[in-house]
Amino acid sequence: MIAAFKQFFPDARLSVLVKPEAVSLLRHNPHVAEVLVIDKAGVHRGPAGMLRMAREIRSRKFDVLLGPHQSHRSSILAMLSGIERRVGYRGAALARFAYQDLLERDLDRPEIERLLQFLDGAFSIDTGRCSRDLEIYIEDENRTTARHLLRDLNAPRPVLVAPSSVWPTKRWTAWGFARLCLLLSRRYQTRVLLVGSKADQTVNQEVLTNLSMMVGPESRDRVIDIAGQTSLPVLYAIMEQSRLLVSNDSAPVHLGCAARIPVVAIFGPTVPALGYAPIAPGTTVAELPDLVCRPCGTHGAKRCPLEHFRCMKDLTPEMVMERVNLVAGHA
C-alpha cells in the first residue's frame, strides 16, 4: 500500500503511525518520510496518552488521513487529528464521526488487495498494475549480524519454525511442532531454528521438551531456539538466508513472504478466506478445510469455544510435511 501510494504520488510526504515493535521495519523504507509511534502501554496509555498522541498528529498539519485500521483507538485519533480529509472503512468503530469518506471493505479479497482497493477508493486511482510483492528495507549491518549468528550456530541455510502466536488457539501443538522439527532436520540435513520474540521463549521451550522425549541428545541438538536473540530486521535477514519457514498464522508468515522464501502457514481457528493467508509464490497453507466449526472468529482466542481444539490437534505433522513438500521446489 505504501509503495503504491508513492508510485501515484511521488512528491507527497508520507508519515506512518505504528506501534513501537514495527518501527524497525519501516525506519529505512524509502517511501516513508516519517515514522510516528503510538506506545499504548507507555506514554500514550489511557485518555491522557491519547490526547498527547492527537496533539502530536495535529501539530504536523497533515492534508489527508488514511485509516484502514478499524479499532476504536484509531477512530478516536482520527476524530481528534484536526485533519480536514479523513478516509476510513464504513465498518470501523465510530466511523460516522471519525471519517468523512467511508469505503466498503471487501471481505472476499486478500488483505493486500483490500489495502490497494482502499487507495483506489480514496484517490480515484487504479492500482491494478501495482506490485503485490511485500518489501522490507533493512541495513546491510543487519545482514552481517545474521550471517555471523548463522555461522556461530553452524547453520548456513537453516529451516525456520515459528511455533508461537499472541493468541493461544492459533498455536499448533508443541508435540506437532516437535515431530515436524524432527522430520525437517532429517529431510534437509540442516539445523532447524525456532524463532520468535523474547515473549515466545516459553512456547519454544515446550517444543524442545517434547522433542527431547522423542529423540536422543544428538538429534535434539539439531534444533535450536533463538527466540529473543535477534531484532526484527536481523530476523528478517536470517529469513533471507534460510531454506524455508513453517509458522502459525502470525507475523513471521508475512516476513517470510517478503524475504521470498517458501512459507507454510498453519491455520487453525482462522481461515485463509479472512484475507491474511500468504499469496506470494512458493507459499501454501496447512489446515483442516472440512472442519465445520472453522473459523470460530476473526482472530484467535485464549481457548477453543467448543473445548475440543480439533483444528490444531487433528492436524498431523505428516499433513504439514505434505505442504512442505508442495513448496520444496522453491527452497
Instruction: Confirm whether 136 is domain-assigned.
Output: no
Instruction: Confirm whether 132 is domain-assigned.
Output: no
Instruction: Confirm whether 148 is domain-assigned.
Output: yes
Considering the entire predicted model, what is its pTM? 0.93
Cα separation, 32 vs 136, in Å, equals 12
Which residues are 285's β-sheet partners? 265
Q: How confident is the model at residue 308 (pLDDT cuts 50, 70, 90)?
A: very high
Q: Tell me, what's the pLDDT at 220?
A: 76
Percent residues over pLDDT 90 in the chain = 94
Cα separation, 163 vs 21, in Å, equals 19
Q: How confident is the model at residue 299 (pLDDT cuts 50, 70, 90)?
A: confident
Instruction: Confirm whether 135 is domain-assigned.
Output: no
Domain of 297, in residue numbers: 142-330
- Cell matching residue 228: 529473543
Secondary structure (3-state) at 100: coil
Instruction: Indicate if 176 and 207 belong to the same structural domain.
Output: yes
Instruction: Indicate if 82 and 225 belong to the same structural domain.
Output: no
Exposure b/e, 60-99, CB count within 10 A at least 16 = b: eebeebbbbebeeebbbbbebbebeebbbbeebbbbeebb
**How many other CB atoms are there within 10 angstroms of residue 154's CB atom?**
10
Instruction: Indicate if 171 and 298 belong to the same structural domain.
Output: yes
Instruction: Indicate if 40 and 147 belong to the same structural domain.
Output: no
Residue closest to 330 by CA, chosen among 277, 266, 260: 260
Of the residues 123, 158, 173, which one is the last residue of a structural domain?
Answer: 123
Q: What is the pLDDT of residues 51-99, one digit of tens each?
A: 999 999 999 999 999 999 999 999 999 999 999 999 999 999 999 999 9
Instruction: Confirm whether 240 is domain-assigned.
Output: yes
Instruction: Tell me how many domains the chain contains.
Output: 2
Instruction: Indicate if 167 and 119 belong to the same structural domain.
Output: no
- CATH number for the domain including 153? 3.40.50.2000
Instruction: Indicate if 151 and 277 belong to the same structural domain.
Output: yes
Cα separation, 223 vs 219, in Å, equals 8
Q: Tell me, what's the pLDDT at 328?
A: 84
Determine the Cα angle at 177 with ends 174 and 179, to 5°: 110
Instruction: Indicate if 81 and 176 belong to the same structural domain.
Output: no
CB of 102 closer than 8 Å to CB of 95: yes
Mean pLDDT, residues 253-265: 97
Q: How confident is the model at residue 207 (pLDDT cuts 50, 70, 90)?
A: very high
